[in-house]
């Protein structure tokens, strides 16, 4: 992989954060992050977003996200639809 450009950076985010990138690609990705503050900021925000989404989807938070009464009302409304 030659010099990574910012446009290409986004294509590699999932693999990078999952740790599934080829070592050579990962090294190039990390060189780009070190030299490109906007992409480093983007990566940080991307990780924060993933963390927030995971915390919202956590089973412990499920009841806090959707009250049981609201779920029952939505299901009842769906049953009434033709």
Q: Write down the pLDDT at residue 4.
A: 73
H-helix or E-strand containing 6? helix 6-9
Query: Count of H helices and E strands in the chain?
Result: 6, 0
Q: Write down the pLDDT at residue 30.
A: 92
Tens digits of per-residue pLDDT, 15-26? 888 899 899 989
In this prediction, residue 10 has a pLDDT band, given cuts at 50, 70 and 90, of: confident
Whether pLDDT at 2 is above 70: no
Residue among 59, 77, 34, 48 nearest 9 (CA): 34
Q: Write down the pLDDT at residue 58.
A: 65
Q: Can you give the residue ranges of every domain in the chain? A: 6-80
Q: Write down the pLDDT at residue 1.
A: 42
* Domain 6-80 listed as CATH 1.10.3470: no
């Amino acid at each position: 992989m030659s010099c990574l450009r910012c446009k290409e950076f986004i294509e590699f985010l999932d693999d990078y954060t999952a740790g599934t990138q080829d070592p050579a690609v990962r090294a190039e990705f990390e060189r780009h992050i070190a030299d490109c503050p906007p992409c480093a900021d983007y990566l940080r925000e991307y990780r924060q977003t993933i963390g927030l989404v995971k915390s919202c989807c956590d089973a412990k938070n499920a009841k806090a996200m959707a009250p049981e009464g609201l779920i029952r009302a939505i299901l009842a409304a769906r049953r009434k639809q033709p």
